[in-house]
Amino acid sequence: MFAEEIRKHLTEDIIPFWEKLQDKEYDGYYGVVDHELTVHPDADKGGILNSRILWFFSNCAAVLGSETYLKDAEYAYRMLRDHFLDPEYGGIYWSVTREGKPSDTQKHSYNQAFAIYGLSSYYGASGNDEAREIAMGLYRLVETYMKDDKGYLEAFTRDLKPASNEKLAEGTAAYRTMNSLLHLLEAYTELYRVTKDPDVRKSICFMLDIVAEHIYNPELQRLECFFDRDYRTLQDLHSYGHDIEASWLVERTLEILDDPAYTNKVKPLLISIMKNTLAKGFSGDYLYNDCTDGRQDRTAVWWVQAETTVALLNAYKNFPEEKGYYDKALRVWEFIKNNQIDRRPGCGEWKSEVLPDGTDRGLDLVNPWKCPYHNGRMCMEALKRLAD
């Protein structure tokens, strides 16, 4: 029943909602749908959104076996190749206009990461060699311009000069962020899965060392979020959503890397992160957003619930002797069905944020950050685990 509901929600709600947003005139997908279900066709198209849609439909094609979904992915692929990719300096723009002209030309490692992620999955699903070459070119750009001896850098101008990091630093003076590193690791993992490139493998090992030695806080059993150049943490923040996501996403990296030494080094940290996050932030029905300076934000954020469901099902498969993970996953799914999914006719996408009393905060259903990546991935990852 659980798997049937998940599959039905993916194929009858999420996928049709996003297919309706294809921009038939200019390629890609419309960049904004507000809370009133009004499409804003002239809004800029964000690089992160476009790459996540590319990833989503590529994986729908691979998991569900439909050529239609691969054609859906092509809309995002052409937009990325023809308009987001800078022909002069390389790299992916932060955003373009509806017609595909550069709008915000900043180059950010987070944005490059999702382009690599989407392109790698598209190559894996389609066999398109051009997509593989673009992904490898972006990988080389990140390694050449966005990396120093201690790790990865974040914000750059169009011509790849260092810039201020407001987009990911969230009001801190962060030189590095856990968020960008986590998603670079995710992207490189997918690139390595489909290419088995030895240089990408070395980069993954480099990042896993950073996670274990600098990002993970062994005393607090969590990932720290914002850092100066030398990995001194800048804010007392426990991001429950990122930690619960990392608990299964980094494990996927370990599985694809298939290196016992790294598995032994990193997997115990992931288990501690998962258990600590549930102990600190799980209400019994959903996972809170975060805790800053000891103050909990109990908002139910859409992507946090998606990642919590995957992490709980992952723990259920990993620790069958520890009862309760499956039941917790079911309770989160019930919360999602009753509170997070927007049931208005013609929708089926998830509400961005719901307050503890169930009130919808009325935020956009689609914007440069709001996409089918987390909830769509939840459905596909859940189907894999529930099929075993």
The alpha carbon dihedral of 368, 105, 241, 138 has a sign of positive
Q: Reply yes or no on whether the pLDDT at 380 is more than 80.
A: yes
pLDDT at 262 over 70: yes
- How many helices (H) and strands (E) the chain has is answered by 14, 14
Give the other-Cβ count within 10 Å of 139's Cβ.
Answer: 25
Taking the CA atoms of the chain, what radius of gyration do you get in angstroms?
A: 20
Q: Are the beta carbons of 182 and 248 closer than 8 angstroms?
A: no
CB 237, CB 226: distance < 8 Å: yes
User: What Å distances lie between residue 348 and 20, 90, 100, 286, 351, CA to CA?
Assistant: 12, 37, 28, 19, 9
Interval 79-112: pLDDT, tens: 999 999 999 999 999 999 999 999 999 999 999 9
For 163, other C-beta atoms within 10 Å of its C-beta total 16
Q: 120-149, pLDDT tens digit by residue?
A: 999 999 999 999 999 999 999 999 999 999
According to the model, what pLDDT value does residue 85 have?
A: 98
Dist. CA 300–CA 26, nearest whole Å: 35
Separation between Cα atoms, residue 153 and residue 142, nearest integer Å: 9
388, pLDDT greater than 70: no
Burial of 118 (0-12, 13-18, 19+ CB in 10 A): buried
Residue with structure tokens 């169009």?
Answer: 158
Domains defined for the chain, CATH in brackets? 2-387 (1.50.10.10)
- CB 46, CB 94: distance < 8 Å: yes
Q: In this model, does residue 375 exceed pLDDT 70?
A: yes
The Cα-based distances of 299 to 167, 178, 186, 229, 367 in angstroms read: 22, 21, 26, 31, 19
Q: Mean pLDDT, to the nearest integer, of 188-214?
A: 98
Residue pair 117/55 in contact by the 8 Å Cβ criterion: yes
Alpha-carbon torsion (333, 335, 340, 344), positive or negative: positive
Longest dimension (CA), the chain: 56
CA gap 290, 293 in Å, rounded: 10
26-30, 168-172, 213-217: least confident range = 168-172
Q: How many residues appear in the chain?
A: 388
- Percent of the chain beyond pLDDT 70? 100
Give residue 323's pLDDT. 83
Rounded CA-CA distance 319/374 in Å is 24
pLDDT (tens digit per residue) in 307-359? 999 999 999 999 988 889 999 999 999 999 999 999 999 899 999 999 999 89
**Does position 73 have pLDDT exceeding 80, yes or no?**
yes
Q: Hey, how many other C-beta atoms are within 10 angstroms of the C-beta on 88? A: 7
State the Cα–Cα distance between residues 80 and 117, nearest whole angstrom: 12
Distance, CA of 66 to CA of 49 (rounded, Å): 22
Decide: helix, strand or coil at residue 287: strand
